[in-house]
Chain A
Amino acid sequence: MIVFIARRLVISFFVLLAATVIMFVLTALSGDPLEDLRQDNSPNRAAKIADRTERMQLDDPIPVRYLSWLGNVVRGDLGVNRDGHDVAIILGDALSATLQLVVAATVMAIIIGIVIGIVSALRQYSGFDYTVTFAAFICFSLPLFWVAVMLKQYMAIEFNNWLKDPSIPPTVIGALALLGGLVFGALTAGDRKRRLLSFAVGFAVTAALFTLLSVTRWFADPGFGLPLILAISLAAAVGFTVLSAGLNPRGPLYAALGAAVLGALASEVLRSVLADPTWLEIIGLALVTVAVCAGLGYALGGLQRRQAITAAVLTGLFTGGVIFVDRMLQAFNGYSAAVRGRPISTIGARTPNFEGDFWQMNLDSASHLLLPSMALILISLATYTRYSRASMLEVMNQDYVRTARAKGLPERTVVVKHAFRNGLIPITTLMAVDFAGVIGGAVVTETVFGWEGMGKMFITALHDVDPTPVMAFFIVTGTAIVVFNMIADILYAYLDPRIRLS
């Protein structure tokens, strides 16, 4: 494995190097860096031109400029832009905000996309499948910037207005309930009667939920509270057990339920720690959760120890996530007041000069990330959905899936263990390609949402025909892409034993 990674690293390095040549040369050739000065009428025009020519080495041929840039980079110096500002400093803040956006969008797109894709493959030719397919086509055809502007207008501005008086009108509740019913109905396999029944259930559940949220004015002061946390976690425990082990025998189920209860109780016990934690503490808690849940699974799993450990650990982490979200929601009220009642932000990556506790700070960046990621996710989401659907359909038709069925394995095992695992393999290849697309998309979304991010730096520099910031942008994104590619490759090798040995 080490050799594999090392070899990939060396290759990636040279690939990246070659890419810098292309980018540098093309950027340098893309226009006249002195254009604005040539139209300048100020008296010291000649001096300015000489100055910039000197700084950008415009008298040297492009290869020489490239080599001198490369020499600087090797020494850890990203250079200055055409006005003499240090690029590394401009990059500073922009970097983390952009990477956060890109990674958050990618991870969400992967998870949601794969889940939707698989469900729609397993329910091929159902109403759900057709709807997802159609929606995916719409997403493929949406101009990202257009969506971003729309989101900004309707999601942020109107939603913020609505938050002032968060009651949901009955017609909206009706529409949402209808939607819920349709989703339930479309997801159900079987005859008309069963589908109608689940439509009714879906309708009733959604209607009840939103009526409750509206009447209690939940959106004004959101949060779950212990009973709800417990209920969600217990439901998740059952879900994870069904997926990983099945409900019979009971061992794994008890382990998962135990993990849910322990987690919910821990949120009360650890009240003081959770009041204003650091990221380090959160990670520490996550590790403890994994250890405790693994122990729980080991102890209660019986003959299905492995599955029990999986179910318990997943449940534990999920419960942790629910508690995390709950804390953030509880911070909402204070945060909302701090930003004058407009919590969904449309500009920038964080509220300037905002100071709050851990939860409020997180809420702040989350609310800034929300809309850009939503816009950014759309296209990737559609890609992952379509791709995992196709991949899953392909795999479900494979002989080895038939073999698995012929052994008498339950459908859950057939899908999760035999189909899903194989269906993921081609998706890893997609991850690498898609990530580059998301970075391109980030440039667009940042522009729409006015982030002082790397995208802005790139666009300004390119307009100015200024290679140094463009290259700084490229080195960061290119490295990110190479790293992501490598993760995808390692994942591939992990998923497919045929690669490991050759």
Chain B
Amino acid sequence: MTTPPNVPIEPHAVDPHAYDNAAHLVDSAEEVHVGLTLDAVRPPSQEEILRVENLTVEFPTEDGVVHAVRGVSYTVREREVLGIVGESGSGKSVSSLAVMGLLPRSARVKGRILFRGDDMLKMSPRKQRGLRGRKLAMVFQDPMTALNPVHTIGDQLAEAVLAHELMPRKIALARAKEMLDLVGIPQAESRLRSYPHEFSGGMRQRAMIAMAVINNPDVIIADEPTTALDVTVQAQILEKLLEVKDAVNAAIVLITHDLGVIAGMAHRVLVMYAGRPVELGETDPVFEKPRMPYTAGLLGSIPSLDKDSGSARLRPIKGTPPSLINLPTGCPFSPRCPLATDICRTEEPPLAETDSGGHFAACHHWDRLAAAEDPTEFFRTESETVA
């Protein structure tokens, strides 16, 4: 007469604002000031360590195939910071998880992921595991759930070392303590014996960063490392990330929603939309002269980056991103794009070089954008027009 186990059912209150982009894009009352800037850390070299080529990821589900990532390519050079931005659901996390080899088994991954010339998708699982956590490390979005609640911090750090190198536990723990010191956790020695629930959110994310760099990786992928944190500690964490990166000589792939952070922290930026890379280039040129309306829209939808201009007008992008199961033909941004014409609705624009110096964009009408004085003006709202 036992009851079959009740797998708890998540109540599904549909949050009316969940997909309302116009609402969330302007939610930016507080700013993150990153004190430490790129100028203070060692510059990237020309050596390419990670190259992603034409990466596609699909998930077969009952509702149809989700095309989460469609043809993403980028490179990361030694010590470089590459920023990835894009709306929620644009495939940022999925593409990074693919690089780490952490996607669920159901995912269909195609393309090439070259780490120092070796294709990770073709490696033996054992060899791939050898790179994971040693050469490629990841910091996740939510430090509250990313640490195992039943093991001590010290244990979880030490095991990252022991997974790749046989050594006495004591030495691994000493290493862990060093790393906690490095990320600025006080009383590191005794903190090794603490459990995650005894740490604050900021401290947990520091511990995650410590875990990521404990094996001196070449690339750290940080997937929105601060979104789950209090605004006051966001800047500290990002600063720490830069500082630590410099200490271990790693490159960073920084995923964020925060264009300000990208502006201050990334050498280059990749903009994603509906699983596609839509703009790629050095950060400053991309932000000053966006060549794709979506990037321009993003820039217009936040309080001005450029304090001097004085124009604080917010111009949110209207509409919602397309379904990844039934993608519209042509440019995925066309339903929301103020510049869209017929060709946009039939032909998907390729990612092509628009300016020299490695500035790429995927837009049929980038020249119209280039011709405009203020690239965000196309997103002018009706109230503005009236005024």
Contact = CB atoms under 8 A, between A and B. Distances in A.
> Quick check: do A and B touch in the complex, using CB within 8 A?
yes
Interface of A: 136, 140, 249, 303-304, 306, 379-380, 382-383, 386-387, 390, 394, 398-400, 402-410, 413, 417-418, 421-422, 425, 430, 433-434, 437, 440-441, 495-498, 501
Interface string B167-201: 11100000000000000000000000001011000
15 contacts: A249-B166, A303-B168, A383-B2, A387-B5, A400-B148, A406-B133, A406-B140, A407-B211, A408-B130, A408-B133, A409-B163, A417-B159, A422-B150, A430-B5, A497-B197
B1 A408 contact: no
A386 B5 contact: yes
Nearest to B155: A417
B350 interface: no
A398 B132 CA distance: 18
B149 A498 contact: yes
B131 interface: yes
A244 to B, nearest CB: 14
Contacts of B169: 303, 306
B5 A437 contact: no
Given A434-B2, A437-B1, A410 B129 contact: yes
Nearest to A305: B169
Contacts of B142: 399
B177 to A, nearest CB: 18
A397 to B, nearest CB: 8
Interface string B3-26: 111010000000000000000000
A309 to B, nearest CB: 13
Contacts of B208: 403
B160 interface: yes
A404 B138 CA distance: 11
Name, among A306, A399, A408, A422, the residue most crowded by chain B CB atoms within 10 Å (CB to CB): A408
A413 B146 contact: no
Contacts of A398: 145
Nearest to A140: B4
Interface size class of B (residues with CB under 8 A): 35 or more
B132 A408 contact: yes
Contact of A399 (B7, B131, B140, B163): B140
Given A387-B5, A390-B5, A390-B7, A403 B148 contact: yes
Nearest to B97: A402
Closest 8 CB pairs of A and B: A408-B133, A387-B5, A407-B133, A408-B132, A437-B2, A399-B145, A400-B148, A407-B160
Interface string B113-131: 0000000000000000111
- Chain B residues touching A, majority SS: loop
A390 B169 CA distance: 34
A402 B102 contact: yes
B248 to A, nearest CB: 16
Given A390-B7, A394-B7, A408-B163, 13 more contacts: A383-B2, A383-B3, A387-B5, A400-B148, A404-B148, A406-B138, A408-B131, A408-B132, A408-B134, A410-B163, A422-B148, A430-B5, A433-B3
Contacts of A498: 149, 195, 197
B151 interface: yes
B137 interface: yes
A459 B370 CA distance: 90
Contacts of B100: 406
B89 to A, nearest CB: 18
B187 to A, nearest CB: 18
Contacts of B368: none
B7 A408 contact: no
B164 interface: yes
Given A249-B166, A410-B163, A400 B4 contact: no
Contacts of B1: 379, 437, 440-441
A299 B198 CA distance: 36
A490 to B, nearest CB: 15
Nearest to A397: B104
B151 A417 contact: yes
B147 interface: yes
A89 to B, nearest CB: 30
A35 to B, nearest CB: 28
Nearest to A418: B148
Nearest to A427: B5
B197 A405 contact: no
A231 to B, nearest CB: 29
Contacts of B150: 421-422, 425, 495-497
Contact of B163 (A382, A413, A434, A440): A413
Contacts of A413: 159, 163
A495 B151 CA distance: 10
A405 B151 contact: no
Contacts of A407: 132-133, 159-160, 163, 211
A425 B150 CA distance: 10
B220 to A, nearest CB: 11
Given A497-B150, A498-B149, A433 B132 contact: no
A410 B148 CA distance: 16
Contacts of B166: 249, 303-304
Contacts of B131: 408
A87 B146 CA distance: 57
B2 A400 contact: no
A440 B1 CA distance: 8
Contact of B140 (A379, A402, A430, A440): A402
Contacts of B7: 390, 394
Contacts of A440: 1
A394 B102 CA distance: 17
Name, among A403, A418, A425, A430, the residue most crowded by chain B CB atoms within 10 Å (CB to CB): A403
Contacts of B130: 408
Nearest to B128: A408
A134 B133 CA distance: 39
Contacts of B160: 407-409
A386 B4 contact: yes
A430 B208 CA distance: 33
A403 B97 CA distance: 11
A405 B140 CA distance: 12
Contacts of A136: 4
A238 to B, nearest CB: 19
Nearest to B168: A303
